[in-house]
Structure 1
Amino acid sequence: MLISRGSSSSSLSKTFSSFRYKSKYLSSLSTLPTRNWQTFLQKNHSNNIQQNRYYSRDSSKNEKETIIKLLYNIGSRKEVEQYLRHFSSVESQKFAVIKVGGAVLSDELDTLASSLTFLNRVGLYPIVLHGAGPQMNGLLESAGVEPNYIDGIRVTDAKTLEIARGVFMQENLKLVEALERLGTPARPIPSGVFIADYLDKEKYQYVGRITGVHKKVVEASINSGALPILTSLAETPSGQILNVNADVAAGELARVLEPLKIIYLSEKGGLLHGETGKKIDVINLDEEYENYMKQPWVKYGTRLKIREIKELLDHLPRTSSVAITSAGQLHKELFTDYGAGTLIRRGYRLFKYNSVNETDNSKLQQILQQNSEISSDPASYIKQLGKKSHAIYSDEPYEVLAVITQENSKPPFLDKFIATKNSTLNNVTDNIWTMIQKDYPKLTWVVDTNDKNKEWFFKRSDGSYTRNGKTLFWYGIDDVAEVGNVISNFSSTTAGGKSGNAFTNSSRTYSTFARKNDSNLLRRQYSTSTSPAKIALIGARGYTGRNLIALINSHPHLSLSHVSSRELEGQKLTEYTKDNISYVNLKTEQIKEMQKNGEVDCWIMALPNGVCAPFVQAVNEGQVDKSLIVDLSADYRFTDEWTYGLPELGDRNAIRKATRISNPGCYATGSQFAISPLIPYLSESPTVFGVSGYSGAGTKPSPKNDPAFLKDNLIAYSLTDHIHEREISHHLGTKVNFIPHVAPFFQGIHLTVNIPLNKSFKSSEIKELFEQKYSGEKLIKVVGDIPLVKENSEKHFVKIGGFGVHSSGKRVVVVATIDNLLKGAATQALQNMNLALGYDEYEGIPIE
């Protein structure tokens, strides 16, 4: 596991050589106030700070473990190690962006420095951005400059900007010096990160609107082993300094870096409920945002803060979250399930189904397969479940599943409780549990005694009884006679019933404004229409069109309404068995009229490059938002108004909301998957050597799709400036060289990708980066060996492997294979259609 990415030449061993953690230290740390941690750290390394001020990721294992032991005193070992693995699973700059208020710098500087030091000691590199509002106000008052605000924005004239620049420099250096007193290397970066234009020069003068972020400045600091300490000063392209709100700057930085955590440090330590005065533990925006915004106490700054956080998280991966906490509780917020401040995340809606028939059967079967007892035949379990009185609880993506059954007068029984690792880290398990508790005042369940997470169940039970390797749990049963009956029934059976997959303990409070029987909460958030979505395919003659027809033919929620092909007009579509359909040759005026009448839910443009614009225009003129368009050509892959439909590397939520989707190219899809996990470590442009089967050359006759010409041959073509070279480079955000070839086989693509690196890696470390990046992705398989074209020809997944590292450690060759007609085209189009039309992403796609 790669814990950190810093690389300075010194070792942590000298700095911590004076640490002698005796039992008295460890036993007393559980009650040690956080503000004293700074004194503790400073005292124990003062003898060595002059010998070695800088630390490296090569620090000794024993010293790192000693620091981690300090964290065990604020949370369980399991919690701490779980979150360490989670935070270190991404590149260092993607761990956390921490926004520090000016008041925190004034009042809690030492506490802040010690908290950041602890994070750095365990190999984490938070990016710190601070404000200086109170300090500025004091200096402006001393200088006789009266603060002026318009619409809540500080008007920054030349004098104010001069003072702001000096204050930011002073506060920036103050924090850097506090960190270095504790032996934590930090780099002052008062400017040079944010690019901006004037927000409104006449109105606000020297106030900026951020237009770009120089993230390489931040990455350079981390790569040198130093924490980056930023201010919110920005610059125009011509060099004029502008003042920017620190919260806004932190948000823009987070949009670019996409960190796991965005943390706002405040004196209050969280958001306070306006009526009870108590701190809010967690807000799940997908479920609670609208209800919070309706509350009378959510106004002014609180309302603005929640809205801004929602807008930020809507643009970030669902794994990202925002925490509002205090400097002294930062480590507790990060490394314990209970947290310390207010956690804000997108979350997922939770649902209760009163019958298995109400669920998404395919997703239900997928999560049931994670349970060892029924993994081989989940369909039989579902069939038997339908014969009992039961209820099912799940989140929207079916990452947590609870099944409760009830027989006669017996208490309700928790028959299955299955959770993925991702749902555990995001505390969905506790939310489901609290929902169950509301509905069931009494509950019993059984767990194997060797279940590694049995402690989680103990904490949620009122009593337990163990026999023959199994433990019976219950809550809400107070009558002794009833407890006796429950135990007697349990003892009379040998199996007793088992729980599903065990999961990690988590303890965030479930919070929702939804009523228990709210129909909007209980129904699936996928498509609720009983009628299949109507699909019109323009350009059905090509290979991709044929594969899409086959996929739609087996899709439970899609039906073909029109297939258009000039060459095949009038012929029967024999491959489609759901209905009697013949090829037509749709004109643009017909398409416009069909769009006006709402005859089509989704238009698929399976046409050559440069051809589909008139058809798209016809749909737009009919009614722009009436239906979805998925374009398989390259015509709109560089157009901002269209959503680039690569779910595994893009924003699935954006695809769900999209009405215009550009389907990525086949070469481009495989190449991006092969390069993306290594983007932070590139030293030069990667080179992609691509070989495609001749189906990639289309159906129009040419030497590139002539089997006789290709026999015993390999043809290189478009040696430079191929459209896929531009596409790969554009969407990865880095220059990539691409050299395509066509081979004698019909279907499939082989990509050999040469990637120069800016640091040394082992092959196993590279493979781990790919496994972490694509964990949970059903259509990407990371393997150790070099994948072969024939292994996934006519399959719907991509295979990535090889991972051959040069003897220098600074160059790796990655091999990817992909079916150009399926995941490179038709399968990917179906993924995008499913998301945008409201179905499960993998509906109708055979998962292997």
Structure 2
Amino acid sequence: MMLSRINKVASIRLAKRALTRNVTRTIACQKHSFSTKSFASPAINDQERDVLVRILSSIGSRREVEQYLRYFTSLELQRFAIIKVGGAIISDEIDTLSRSLAFLNHVGLYPIVVHGAGPQLNRILTAKGVEPDYIDGIRITDAQTLSVARQVFLEENAKLVEALERLGTRARPITGGVFKADYLDREKYQYVGKIFEVNKAPIEQSIRAGTLPILTSMAESPSGQLLNVNADIAAGELARVLKPLKIVYLNEKGGLYHGVTGKKISTIYLDKEYDSLIKEPWVKYGTKLKIKEIKELLYTLPRTSSVAIINTKDLQKELFTESGAGTMISRGFDVSVSDNIDGIPDAALKKLVFEDNSMAKPSSLEQFKKDIASSKVKVYSDSEHELLVVVDVSNPKFAFLRVFGATDRSWLNNVVDSLSATLKSEHKSLIWCLEPSVKNLEWFFGKSEGTLYRNGRYYFWYGIDLPDVQQAINSAGADSGVTYGVSNNKSSTSAPRSSPATKRTFSTMSGRTVAHRAAALSRQFGVRSYASNAGPGTNKNISKVALIGARGFTGKNIISLINTHPYFELSHVSSRELEGTKLPGYTKKDVRYVNLSADDVKRMEKAGEVDAWLMALPNGVCKPFVEAISSANGKSVIVDLSADFRFDDSWTYGLPELGDRLAIRKSKRISNPGCYATGSQLGLAPVLDLLGGEPTIFGVSGYSGAGTKPSPKNDLNVLTNNLIPYSLTDHIHEREISYHLGHQVSFIPHVAQWFQGISLTINVPLNKSITSRELRNLYQERYEGEALIHVQGDIPLVKDNSTKNFVSIGGFGVHSSSKRAVINVTIDNLLKGAATQALQNMNLTCGYDEYAGISLD
């Protein structure tokens, strides 16, 4: 049966990065002729690969990164991307631009840069008393203007080349010999050219030599006369010859904006949207011209090519993630639905069924055709023969996914995600089967409601109950010739944590070394930027800190942090049980424990012996100390880690990423949030406007969260192979989260057998539909620039976050009903959940840089 065609498209968000086992070997530092698929690339060893995976995972999921790399590194390097850079970018953002380009080259890619110099040229001409003159938006270029333009282009080209080479990236200035042009209209525009030929040899030679080609947009006539050409036009003509996957236009706005809503336009699919878009009343002048030019360009290129209009700082996100960053414009892909495979060529069937098929393979193409012809199926395919999905619909209770063949391009350009939504809308119940070693296994997990592991295979489903699934698998297994990949073995076993086919290989670098190198590369290439919203502190004096309550786990972590802090030093450490003994692990000076009373504290405050008080006491204990300090009318600050003042509005609630950093800087009374409360609020804050009900937070903490006082919650004999729920209702953190978010939540805490670290699974009822990608974008935009919040596509794990100062947020699952989402958060309860956050607050209130003494790795 024939169904209506479905125009499902998506941006080909290319990417690369010479990491990941098989990919790097193919591009590692070998020189080939230009007709082959490789060029000399920077050699990347296993250690650097781990580092780069770490960096790129901060802007996208591991699945995105690995898929984009695998796809891109199979192509000629000159087909990666052409990046058009305006003169204003070189003037104002050259550091950001050069770091981004250097990073791309560091991972084995060769973006081709074409730059302009319009603003610089205008400034010089104005200084010389020459008023720029335009006709139809084209600059009239007389002999004097041409002479100045030539000099300006050379200078700006040299600036960018030098900036790259300062970062250790070899770059080659190409200021002529590429664009051949005739006069556009000599009488009208004078020395303005119209390109008729592109000589790609200088670009090829540059890439062969391992250098980034940096081109000006100047052209020459057949007689050698220099001619001025608009940089946008030059980039377009170059694209017509090289046919890159991506043409990137960098601009200050970071994309095209809707003239009515004022919102950035994420994607434009020309096949479907161009005619209506161009008729919009707000699409006029430069915007209309730009869209028309891009359409004319893309319709001369392969359908896989796309144009991106982005801000310089978002270059990596645009190239390495499916969500992108600015405005992506492409022709789009058509996905059609049929009841047969008759229109698909044998060559495409062989590739999609036997090479790119995630399901089990049939015995032969002939047998496959016979089976399909004799079955009741729905066949989903695209016009480019990049996608083939076959769903068996012969069973009235459920559909069975028999073939899921998708090339890397289909995975990367969102066609697969679009088709997944179509499948869910057309098939209310679906079952499919995969080998554990199949690529993109994680994606299939995310699309299912349940998983069963049997005889070495995974069975996935949605819209069907488990007993029916088991019956369906067993009965289907006996139906020969229909259910490729369904096991005949009826015995069930537990699913493994990993399969030998998917085992990881580990670098010889320690995790700490990887983290340090990742941080260094991030800073060098600007992949992530960390900036406190409150600005850097100006205080450079040493502050004396008194710690009351030093015996617990949090107190010990505070001592360790202060020991390496450039401006804090411990003056007093109070513990009743340890009075008189030497403070271990503190090397700045000899400090011994004292047992401070409220009267001692009041005397010390009056004498000005302390600049800051850190209270690491149990709930309900520190009030006498706070009253003593307040009664002394001193100038010191207090940071309290208990819950005693978290609901007192006269105190500042110290969660910098969600609060007012300026208010924290000005405050002398700061209540440090709880560990569960910190992770939960950070996990919920970006979606408060989307809440359609009361969120539920399922929290599991390591047993260090139970403190040092013996109890079943920190008794390993009780905890081993166990998970203990506690405080099932009305936990203090439930009240704290609800109070500070202004929205009631349900919180269910548990304690597990690991020592430190918290995992939070947050179920969020939604008041409107949103995709997983859009959900992740909300978090990336909300927490952009936050040094201690990492947003990732994958589900964060406790073991990856334990002993780290940052919070990890990921998962971003959206139910097929679009009525709820699930967000995962991990946080170290002793660090960002307590000690690290206390240090953040102390830094702010004492006038230091917010992250002084805090490792950002």
TM class by shorter chain equals 0.3 to 0.5
Identify the structure with bigger relative contact order (alpha carbons < 8 Å, sequence gap 6+): 2
Which structure has the bigger radius of gyration?
2
Give the TM-score taking structure 1 as reference length: 0.48
Give the TM-score taking structure 2 as reference length: 0.47
